[in-house]
Amino acid sequence: MNIKHDKEQVLKTGLGLICNKGYNSLGVDEICKVTGMTKGAFYNAFKSKENFLLEGLKVYGEMTVKRLTRQLSKESNKPLAIDRLKDLYDAMFEAQPKNNFMGCMVNNIMSELGSNNHTAGRVAAIEFNSFVEAIEPCVKEAQGDGDLMVSIDSKTLTELLHSTFYGALTITKSMQNHIQGKRMMQTLLNTLQNK
C-alpha cells in the first residue's frame, strides 16, 4: 500500500530529531520510524540523508524568517525598535527550556557540520544571512530612533548581534541553562545603546 506523506511535515519532524540528536548521530532508519515513512519512500522523496537536511534547512529558514519578521514588525506590542529587539532575543532564550534546549537548527548545523561538510555549511550560512536580513530593518530603525549606536552600519551591527546570540545559544545548550545567554544578549544590547 502506497501512503502519501506530507513532505513539509516529514521535514519538520525530522528537523526536530536532528536538533535533538545531531545530524551524525541520527540514521535514516530512525527518521523513517518517527515520520512513518518507509526507507523507499524516504529515498524517493529526498534521495539522501544529506538532501533531507538541506531541504530541511531551507524549510526551517523560511519559517524562522516569517517568525522574525512578525516579532519585529511595528505592529507588534512594542512601539520602540530597541524594545522589540530585546524582546526577540529574550523570547528565543526563554523558549530553550520549553524545547529541551534544542538550540537553533542553523546554529546546530553550523557547529556540527560547518567545517567538514561544505554544502551543509554553505546552506546554513545562507539561512543565517536570511535571518540577519530579517532582523536588520529593526536594527536600522533603532539606530534611526537614536537608541542604538550609528558608528557601526546596521548590517554589521545585526551580524554582531546574531553571531553573539549563536555563541550564547551554544553555551545555553551545553549548560542547559538559558539565563546566562539571556544576560549576555541584554548586556550586548545595553552596551550598544546610545546613552
Confidence of residue 76 (pLDDT cuts 50, 70, 90): confident
For 106-127, write each residue's pLDDT tens digit.
999 999 998 899 999 999 999 9
Note whether residue 5 is domain-resident: no
Tell whether the model's pLDDT for residue 3 goes beyond 70: no
Q: Is residue 169, in this structure, part of any structural domain at all?
A: yes
Phi, psi of 133 (to 5 degrees): -65, -35
Domain membership of residue 172 (yes or no) is yes
pTM: 0.91
Give a yes or no: residue 39 inside a domain.
no
Q: How far is CA 82 from CA 27, 158, 186, in A?
A: 43, 12, 11
What domain range includes position 118? 58-192
108 burial type by CB count under 10 A (0-12 exposed, 13-18 middle, 19+ buried): buried
At 88, which CATH number?
Answer: 1.10.357.10
Residue 56 has pLDDT above 70, yes or no: yes
Within-domain flag for 7: no
Q: How many residues does the chain have?
A: 195
Average pLDDT, the chain: 92
Residue 34 counted as domain residue: no
User: What is the count of structural domains for the chain?
Assistant: 1
Residue 171 pLDDT grade (very low, low, confident, very high; cuts 50, 70, 90):
very high
Grade residue 155 by pLDDT with cuts at 50, 70 and 90.
very high
* pLDDT > 50? residue 152: yes
Nine-digit cell string for 132:
540577519
Residue 35 lies in a domain: no
Residue 79 belongs to a domain: yes
Burial (CB count <10 Å: 0-12, 13-18, 19+), residue 28: middle
